[in-house]
A = this chain, B = another copy of it.
Amino acid sequence: MAPMDADQDLAAILRDSGNRMTGPRRRVWEVVRLADRHLTAEEIAAKVHANDPTVNLASVYRALALFSDLELVRESNLGDGDAARWELAHPDEHFHLVCRRCGAVDHHVGRLVEEIREHLAGGHQFHAENVELVVTGLCRRCAAKSGQPITH
C-alpha cells in the first residue's frame, strides 16, 4: 500500500465521519501505521516531530483519541499502570505478553481471544465488545537469567 493510498483512505474515513483531514492527523496516522509495535504517545510525538516539529503533543493525543473512536487504532494499558500504548487496530485478535523484568511486549496472535468471546457469548448476561488480555511474567531471555538484579 503506497503512502498516498493510505492518505486517501484516511481522508475518506475522516470526511465520511464528519471530520477533517489535517496535517497533525496525517502525521500521526503515518507513524502509527508504520510502527512495528506499540508506541506511547510520547514516542509517537517524537516520530511525528522528526517530520514536523510544530505538531503539539496535545494534538497527538487528540488524533489518537479520534482514531480510537473511529476504530482505526487501539489503546492498551499494559498493566504497568503508567503510559498507555497505541497500535494499529488490525483485525487479527491478539493479546500481549509483558515481561516484568525487561519490559518487552510481545504480541501474540491466536484463537485465544476468539475463544474468550465465544465463551462469553454463551449465557452470560453481558454484551462483550472489547477483550483485553494482558499476561505478565518473564520472557524467555529473562527467565534464563532469573535471580540477577533487575536493571531497567
Contact = CB atoms under 8 A, between A and B. Distances in A.
Interface secondary structure of A, over-half rule:
strand
Given A126-B137, A126-B138, A131-B134, 8 more contacts: A79-B130, A97-B126, A120-B135, A129-B137, A130-B135, A130-B136, A132-B134, A132-B135
Instruction: Assign chain A's interface to a size class.
Output: 20 to 34
Interface of A: 75, 77, 79, 81, 84, 97, 99-100, 106, 108, 112, 115-116, 119-120, 124-140, 143
A119 B112 CA distance: 8
A145 B126 CA distance: 13
A22 B62 CA distance: 45
Could you say how many copies of this chain the assembly holds?
Answer: 2
14 contacts: A79-B130, A97-B124, A97-B128, A108-B124, A112-B116, A126-B135, A126-B137, A127-B139, A127-B140, A128-B135, A131-B134, A131-B135, A132-B135, A132-B136
